[in-house]
Amino acid sequence: MLNNRKSYPVLNHCIYANTAAYGLLGEELLEWRQNHDLDYLIGGSSMKIESLGLISEARDMVGTFFKCKSDLVALVPNFSLGLNMLLEGLDSREHILLLENDYPSVNWPLESRGFQISYAKIDEKLEQNILEKVRTNSITVLALSLVQWINGIRVDLDFLKSLKEEFPQLMIIADGTQFCGAFEIDFENSGIDVLGASGYKWLLAGTGNGFMLFKDLAKVRFTIKTTGFNSANAVLTAKNTIPFNKQFEPGHLDSLNFGSLKCALGVLNDIGMKEITAHNENLSKKACKGFSELGLLNKDIIHRNLHSTIFNIKGNNALFNHLMEENIVCSRRGEGIRLSFHHYNTVEDIDSILEILRKMK
């Protein structure tokens, strides 16, 4: 992974441990964006009309990357908008299971629509907590983040698959914004029915782009009301034959933003998601061991076999400010300090952070 670091100049003057907030802009994507806008500057509307094909290419790339049929891929500006459009088509009688203190853009849209809602606790027994609620509460929809934004707890995808096998009519909606790009996922063979994500974090695609992936069950369970001229590909006679995925694309999509997503996925493909997954899991184990030895992790993290590369360590504003002064870019989240690592980070980055923390003990 060391060869990839040179594409991210930010790393020349800091240890970037903040991908959970914003992923870095790489030189390859910067060059593509500059060329795109130069073509627009010179070509005007002709360039934009020609670039409509780029949107389809981006959709195909998303489908290939995550192993989802392209006609079940919707391109959306971000996950939050995609989820809200989706929920407008969900029957109000559904019984929803959420996770306590999950990301607000997962929980709030469901809580605001008057569904019957139950909650599972996020701790070291997360999967068991979910299973018990589904078995005893007549749950029809499970909505959750694959990785928790504050503490980095990562749900076991094998568990979701087995849960789906036990309860085939359970609709599983997942936010992959803190997962996709950091770890490999095969959507078609997962237990997830709807997977959405924004592209500006681990996918390193910048803001203004995201996607929603669907299984066939979603087309049965959701009656989507969103529509617009772009949904029909600007064909007046196609109003009544709009495909399910295109109902999430009522207006024009920006070729810069979704071309950026296509370019970013190409970069990750070139590195290889198997390699990125292995690298990030190694970083996760290294960080978990080091932070645990310093007594900086909650027991909910220490006692789990699976974790992401997001860690919330115990620390106050004084420690946070000290880390920033040492050029460690991180975030205050909850009651601690959130550090997050991606493929452009190294074990040496983690060693450096651990050394600073030891000196502060």
Which CATH number is 2-17+272-360's, of 3.30.930.10, 3.30.460.80, 1.10.150.120, 3.90.1150.10?
Answer: 3.90.1150.10
Query: How much is the average pLDDT of 112-116?
Result: 96
DSSP 3-state of 328:
strand
pLDDT reading at 360 higher than 90: no
pLDDT reading at 56 higher than 70: yes
Helix intervals (H) in the chain = 27-43, 45-50, 52-66, 79-87, 104-111, 126-136, 157-166, 216-221, 255-271, 273-293, 299-302, 317-325, 347-360
Query: How much is the average pLDDT of 330-343?
Result: 96
DSSP 3-state of 172:
strand
* Domain edges within the chain: 2-17+272-360, 31-270
pLDDT reading at 144 higher than 90: yes
Over the chain, what is the mean pLDDT? 96
Whether the Cβ atoms of residue 284 and residue 222 lie closer than 8 Å to each other:
no
Q: Write down the pTM of the prediction.
A: 0.96
pLDDT digit string (tens) for 263-311? 999 999 999 999 999 999 999 999 999 999 999 999 999 999 999 999 9
Q: Does domain 31-270 have CATH number 2.60.40.650?
A: no
Percent of the chain scoring above 90 in pLDDT: 95
pLDDT reading at 39 higher than 90: yes
pLDDT digit string (tens) for 59-90? 999 999 999 999 999 999 999 999 999 999 99
How much is the pLDDT for 288? 97
How much is the pLDDT for 359? 87
pLDDT reading at 2 higher than 80: no
Distance CA 279, CA 183 (A): 10
pLDDT reading at 1 higher than 70: no
Let me know if 325 is exposed, middle or buried by CB neighbors in 10 A (0-12, 13-18, 19+): exposed
How much is the pLDDT for 50? 87
How much is the pLDDT for 129? 98
How much is the pLDDT for 249? 97
As given in the structure block, the two tokens for residue 26 are 């790489």
Percent of the chain scoring above 70 in pLDDT: 99
